[in-house]
Amino acid sequence: MARILRSPRNLWCEAAVTRAGLLVDGDDYYRAFYEAAQSAESYIILAGWQFDTDACLLRGANAEGATLPVTLLKFLDALCARNPKLRIYLLAWDFHAVFSLEREWMQQLRFNWTTSERLTFLFDSRHADQGSHHQKFVVIDGQLAFLGGLDLCDHRWDDRGHKDPNPLRVSRGEPHKPFHDVQSYLVGGDLLGELIALFKCRWEAAGGEPLVLLEPSSSSTFANYEPQGAVPLAVSRVALSRTDPHGSPTQTERCREVCNLFSDAIAQAKRLVYIETQYFSSREIGAVLVERLRSSQDLLDVVLVLNMQAETLKEEIAVGLAQAKVIADLRSAAEGTGHRLGIYYTVPATENGAEPDRATYIHSKVMVVDDRFLTIGSANLTNRSMGLDTELNLSVETDDPEDALGQSIARARQSLIAEHLGAPDAEALDTRGLVTALDSLAEQRAGRLRIHPSPTENERAVLEVIDPQQLPFDPADVEGHEHSRSIFVGGIGALWARLSGGARAPTGE
């Protein structure tokens, strides 16, 4: 069996860890971060797409009896006040003006001028033109790290029950949508040194002073760490892969390791591909999966868990149409081949069992192949994540799906499916025939999984006219972001014909 992970093609580094696992949804991750950060002796470094000063880390029963503040900025400041040796560094994407109405204003002032001098916040604007910094990771004392899709910010918290309504799922006093995401934790080993090197490189490139991170006096604070709600992985080595036009921290040429990672994993799949992603608009990954579905070799069950619809109008324009095109291509490729393709969204649990009026928002970025390979990180299956934005994924792999690591990957996948179904007995679903079983449950609405409707009739009509891959919001050509064709499938004449019901286009005479 060929190994998926290969250096330097699809990984940056691979190194030892002593423990690892998954934390599913914000309730488990935020609580784990809150508790672990209190044990920090020397430093905490945090890199993210977004931070909010008032992000609430503990809620409900978890917050009762808390001895420190439970909102992010006050909590970090209290840690510094309690420990005079502690230093905390936050590195956030210097977001584009288009996000200004959605973001907290004057963050740099709030983080740097209302807190301890040992708490430092820095915006990172050193990214590719039209790109963003999307990596999300935390390292505490060089001993414990968190990495995945979750930022410590508003509108991200939810628990695995995804109940609607949930009085605890509130940001800035207002209820927000049910929200699903996945984060990992990593304990000990050499891998955390690579994360620290990445953070230091980006920090200095963004204009920060060179960091001197002091070693803690104890090297065993997190030796037996296993947070509440963890889904452990029986692994001793973990690989990291990047998307980075600047190649930090190695300063090599543009890194597309994540794109190669997804492509190679799909191409080598023998029986199962399981994917959760916020968006699937990548032309390149879509083409790889289409090619695999057209092959008669090793019939697959392919499970995609996506969002029902884009979060905002701008995201629908940016990636919604491209995703509809990818879904249409995948369904066409799988038809009549013997491969089983299931594309789903998931809904929250309601109090009276009535059909929910909205879906759970999928923000996770997870892929499992044959229960021998798992990757999780910040990268969506979008063109941007494959080449333009900075991204960071971790991966684990085994040659034998029946060994301890393979079984732990299977348990992680089963745990995710069980959550989406709202059914604890989902572990009984076999990988062979998985799509058939999930389709049956979704059609009967026996649980919370639903069959994804895309492409809808409206989407099909627009796709006859517009080539979404030529829109500028999710560029596939990261070298220059130049488009070789018109966004209109057949030119202005075809667009006019569609809009006018077949009338001749005006000639200007």
Q: Phi/psi at 163 (nearest 5 deg)?
A: -80, 145
Structure tokens at 236: 């001793």
> Tokens 């200095």, residue?
204
Q: What is the largest CA-CA distance in the chain?
A: 83
105-115 b/e (C-beta count within 10 Å ≥ 16 → b): eebeebbeeeb
Contact assessment for residue 304 and residue 264, using Cβ atoms and an 8 Å cutoff: no
Neighbouring-strand partners of residue 21: 185, 232
Q: Which residues lie below 8 Å from residue 74, measured CB to CB, with a gap of 6+?
A: none
Structure tokens at 33: 């971060």
pTM of the model: 0.92
Measured on CA atoms in the order 193, 199, 200, 205, is the torsion positive or negative? positive
Structure tokens at 371: 């229960």
Q: Which residues lie below 8 Å from residue 107, measured CB to CB, with a gap of 6+?
A: 51, 53, 92, 121, 123
Neighbours of 392 (CB within 10 A): 24
Q: What is the pLDDT of residue 212?
A: 95
Q: Which residues lie below 8 Å from residue 344, measured CB to CB, with a gap of 6+?
A: 303, 304, 305, 306, 420, 438, 442, 449, 450, 451, 452
Structure tokens at 334: 């799988």
Q: How do 119-124 and 87-93 pair as beta strands?
A: parallel
Distances from the Cα of 157 to the Cα of 33, 48, 61, 329, 463, angstroms: 13, 16, 15, 34, 35
Alpha-carbon span 496 to 505, nearest angstrom: 6
pLDDT tens-digit profile, the chain (509 residues)? 899 999 999 999 999 999 999 999 999 999 999 999 999 999 999 999 999 999 999 999 999 989 999 999 999 999 999 999 999 999 999 866 566 556 676 788 888 898 999 999 999 999 888 889 999 999 999 999 999 999 999 999 999 999 999 999 999 999 999 999 999 999 999 999 999 999 999 999 999 999 999 999 988 899 999 999 999 999 999 999 999 999 999 877 789 999 999 999 999 999 999 999 999 999 999 999 999 999 988 999 999 999 998 766 667 776 888 999 999 999 999 999 999 999 999 999 998 888 999 999 999 999 999 999 999 999 999 999 999 999 999 999 999 999 999 999 999 999 999 999 998 766 667 777 999 999 999 999 988 999 999 998 988 888 888 888 777 778 765 554 444 455 544 443 444 344 445 443 333 33
Alpha-carbon span 247 to 327, nearest angstrom: 31
Contact assessment for residue 374 and residue 396, using Cβ atoms and an 8 Å cutoff: yes
Neighbouring-strand partners of residue 91: 47, 122
SS3 461: helix
278-310 b/e (C-beta count within 10 Å ≥ 16 → b): bbbbbbbbbebbbebbeeeeeebbbbbbbbbbb
DSSP assignments along 279-299, one per residue: -B--HHHHHHHHHHHH--SS-
SS3 491: helix
Please name which of 280, 288, 244 lies closest in space to residue 263, comparing C-alpha atoms.
288
User: Which amino acid type is present at position 304?
Assistant: L
Q: Roughly what angle, to the nearest 10 degrees, separates helices 404-421 and 434-444?
A: 20
In total, the chain counts a number of residues equal to: 509
